[in-house]
Structure 1
Amino acid sequence: MTGRGQAKGRSGGSPLGVRMDDVAQLAQVSRATVSRVLMGHVTVSPNTQEKVHRALRELGYVPNMIASGLAARSSSDLVGLLLRDPRNPAYGLLHSEVQNQASRAGLQLITVIPSSKQGAEDELAALRRLLGLRVGGLMVSTGVVKAHDLEPFLDSVPVVSVGRMEDHPGIYGVSYDEDTNAAILADRVASEGHRSVAVIVPSFAISTAENRRGLAMAAHLRGRGVSVYQIDTAIFGSVVDGCKDIVRLALEGRVTAAMFPSDIRAISFLPLAQEEGLRIPEDLSITGCDGVLPGSDQIGIATVKIPVHEVAARGTAVMAELLRNPGTATIKHERFAGVFVPGRSLGPPRANTLGMT
C-alpha cells in the first residue's frame, strides 16, 4: 500500500495536487469506487466507504469540482444553490433540508449566499459565480432575484425555484403557497373580531415572498370587510421598517391588530411595543408567518408554519429528475400550504383607550 509520504511526493507536497488515482491506490479500490463514494452513492458497502474515507483523510484529497463540471457539463450532478441570508430561520432550515435531500439523491451541492446588506445586483453577481463553476443545475431560493434575471440561463442549465412563488413558464417552481398562507392568517385575525388592521408589505425588490404575503393578507382582509392600513417598506435588510408607524396607529386607537409577513419582523416589533407601553395582545394583536424559529412556541407568536421539509424534498427530487432526464419534464408550479399555529399574540380586540384623552 502506498504511504502518505509517497503520495504527497507525487503531488509536490500539496494535498490539492493529490489525484483520485492516489486515493484509489491507498484504499486498494478502483478509481470508479472512489468517485462513487465522493458522490455519496449508497451502493458502496460501508466497509469500502470507510477505506476510501480513511484514504481521503490521510492524503487530504480535495476533488477538482470545476474540472469535473467541465468534463461532464451536460450530465453533471453538481448543483448550485443560490440562497438568501441563512440568518433568517426559514432560509437556514431550507438550506439544511436541501443539503440533506441532495446528499440522499446523489447530488453535490454548492451554495452561494449573497451579502445580507445588498440587493439584486449582489445576488446576480452570486448567480454568475455559481454558473461560472459550470454547475449542471441551478436551484434558486432567494426573494430578490427575479424570473427575468434567470431567463438568459434557461437554455444552458435546468433551473428550479425552491421556496419562492414562481410563475415563469420556463422555470419549474416548488414553493410555499403564499396566497393560501396569507388567507389563513387573515381569516384568523378577522374571525377574532378585528375590524381595523395594519399590514406590513415589503417592496417586491426587497423580497418577492414577503411582498406577496403582505399584499395577499391585505387583499383577503379587505375581502372580509376589514379596514386595512397598508404600510409599504423599502429598506433592504431592515426588519423593523414600518414598526414605528404601527405603534403610532395603535396608540391613536386606529388599529387593533398588525400583521407581519415573517416571524422575524413580528418578533422584532415586540421590544418597540414594550418600550411604548403597548401590551400584546391586550392593546394590539400581532401575527407573523414562517413558524420555523426554534423556541417560537415559547414566544407565543400566532403564525403559519410553512412546509420547509416538503418543499426541499420535492424541489431536490425535481432537480435530480431534470438532470438525469433532460428535456423530458413538463414545467409545473407546485405550491404547498402551511398550517396555522395558535399563539398568545392574537386575541379579540378590547376597548382601546390608548388614543383617547
Structure 2
Amino acid sequence: MASSMDKEAPSPLKVTMTAVAKEAGVSQSTASRVFYGSTPVAEHTRQAVEAAAERLGYVPNTMARSLAARGTDILGLLLRGPDNPAYGLLFSELQAHVSSAGLQMITVAPSRNEGAQFERQALNRLLGLRVGGMFVATGVIRAQMLEPFLDRVPVVVVGRPESHPRIHSISYDEDRNATLLADAVATAGHRSAAVVVPSAENSVAQHRRGVAMARGLAERGVRVYQVSSPTFASRDEGGREIVALSREGRITAAMFPSDLRLLAFLPLAQKAGLRVPEDLSLTGFDGILPGIDLLGFTTVRIPVEVAARRAVEVMHAQLTERTPARHDLIPGTLIRGRTLGPAPTHR
C-alpha cells in the first residue's frame, strides 16, 4: 500500500485558503485578512498563517479578489519599451509607489517592434482582468484609443503630454526641455543643425521633442534641417542623412530626440571619420542611459522619479473620487557633456 509520502503533492495553485487556515489553526476569515489586509491581525497570527502558506505552497488568488472587489486595488500598466532605460526606471518607480500605497499593479509591455495594434489588445486584456485603474506609459496609444474606457476606469498617462479633458497626465515638459537643448546649441555658436523628428504615429513624445527643438533653433537664428524618421522602432534612421549633411558642410550639429538614438548614431559617425564634437556636435534626450556620464552626452535629464510619484498620487485619489483631469508638466535638467562643443571655425 502506498504511503502518504508517495502521494503527489497538490499544485500550489490548487491549494485553497481553507487548507491554509486549517494548517494554521485559524478561521478562513482570519487567513483572508492576513493575505488581503482588510483589517489588522495579531503579529503571531500573521506569522502562523504565512508559515502555513509557505509549507503548503499557497498562492493567493489575486484576480479572484480583484473580481470580487471590482479591482479597486489592482492597477494596470501599459509600458512601452522596457528595454529603454527611461521606461525601465519609470516602471521601477511606479511599482515602488504603488506598493507603498498598498495597491498592486499588473504590467503589460510589448516588445520593441510591437506597435499600436498590440497595445490596443493589451488595454483590452487589462480591462478583462478588471483592473481598477490604468497607467498608460507609451507614446503610441492616442487619447481617442482611451476614450471608450474612461467611463469604466480612471486612466493616468505618464511621461507623455496629454490635453484630453478627461484623461489625467503627468508628463515631462517636452517643449521646455527641448528649448534648453536648442538654446545650448545656439549659444555654442552653431548656425546650422540637423534635428531628427520621428513620426507622431510612432512616438508622440519624440515627435514633440523634435518639433520643439527645430522650432527653438529657428527662433534663435539657426538654420534647421529636419531629418524624418517614419519607421517604427528604428533608432538609427536618419543617421546617413546626417552624415551626408555634415560632409557637405551644411551642418555643424545634430540633435536627437533620445539618448538611444544618439548612441545608435555614434558608430556611423565613427565610420564616416567624423570627430565629436570637433566636426559635429551632438545632443540627446532623456538623461537616464547607464554610463551617460562616461559617454559625455549633452542631454536633458527627464524627472522620471517625480512623474511616477505624482502619477500614483493622482491614481490613488481617483480610485476614491473622480475629479477633473489635471495635466502636469514637469521640467527636466540640462546636462552639459562633451558631445556639444563650439561650432568649428573651418566651416
CA offsets 1:263-316 (integer angstroms, 9 cap, x no match): 000111111100110000000000001111121100000011011111001101
Describe the shift of the 1:109–1:304 C-alpha distance in structure 2 as closer, same or farther (beyond 3 A): same
How has the CA–CA distance of structure 1 residues 61 and 184 changed in structure 2, closer, same or farther, with 3 Å as cutoff? Answer: same
What does 1:131-150 align with in structure 2 at a 5 Å threshold?
131-150=127-146
Correspondence for 2:259 among 237, 260, 263: 263
2:227 matched to 1:237?
no
Q: Which moved more, 1:52-61 or 1:264-273?
A: 52-61
Partner residue of 1:126?
122
Quote the Cα distance in structure 2 between the aligned partners of 1:41 and 1:247.
61
Matches within 5 A, 1:194-273: 194-273=190-269
**How many angstroms apart in 2 are the aligned matches of 1:87 and 1:21?**
41
1:18 to 2:12 alignment: no
Distance 1:137 1:170 in 2: 14
> Does the residue aligned with 1:286 lie in a helix, a strand or coil?
strand
Q: Kindly report which structure 2 residues correspond to 1:307-326, keeping only aligned pairs within 5 A, or say none.
A: 307-323=303-319, 325-326=320-321
Tell me, what secondary structure is at the counterpart of 1:110?
strand
Could you say which residue in structure 2 is the equivalent of 1:285?
281
Matched with 2:51 is 54
CA distance in 2, matches of 1:45, 1:308: 38
What secondary structure, in the 3-state scheme, does the structure 2 residue paired with 1:193 have? Answer: coil
SS for the counterpart of 1:212 is: helix
Report the alpha carbon displacement of residue 25 of structure 1 after superposing the two structures with TM.
3.9
Pairwise CA RMSD: 2.3
Q: SS of the residue aligned with 2:215?
A: helix
Residue 301 of structure 2: aligned partner: 305
- 2:229 and 2:38 map into 1 onto residues whose CA distance is 47
> Equivalent residue of 1:164, what SS?
coil
Q: Which amino acid aligns with 1:227?
A: R
For 1:193, the equivalent position in structure 2 comes to: 189
Alpha carbons of structure 1 residues 61 and 277: separation in structure 2 relative to 1, 3 Å: same
8 Å contact from structure 2 (residues 193, 251) kept in 1: yes
User: Aligned partners of 1:308 and 1:301: how far apart in 2?
Assistant: 18
Give the aligned length: 343
Change (3 A) 1:300 1:331: same
Aligned match of 1:71: 68
Does the CA-based 8 Å contact 2:166-2:324 persist in structure 1?
A: no
Residue 66 of structure 1 deviates from its aligned partner by 2.8
- Residue in 2 aligned with 1:342? 336
- Cα 1:39–1:276 change in 2 (3 A) is farther
Q: Aligned partners of 2:300 and 2:144: how far apart in 1?
A: 29
Listed as ranges, the gaps of 5+ residues in structure 2 are: none
Q: Which runs of structure 2 are paired with 1:140-179 in the superposition (5 Å)?
A: 140-179=136-175
Closer, same or farther in 2 for the Cα pair 1:139/1:42, shift >3 Å? Answer: farther
What letter is aligned with 2:342? P
1:276 maps to which of 268, 272, 279:
272
Q: 1:97 to 1:37 in 2, by over 3 A?
A: farther
Counterparts of 1:50 and 1:294 in 2: how far apart (Å)? Answer: 40
Q: Which amino acid aligns with 1:69?
A: S
CA 1:40–1:143 in 2, change beyond 3 Å: closer, same or farther?
farther
* Structure 2 CA distance for aligned equivalents of residues 31 and 51 of structure 1: 13
CA separation in 2, counterparts of 1:258 and 1:44?
61
Shift in alpha-carbon separation, 1:55–1:185, aligned structure 2, 3 A: farther
- Contact 1:41–1:106 (CA under 8 A) maintained in structure 2: no
Question: Structure 1 unaligned runs (5+)?
Answer: none
AA matched with 2:51: R
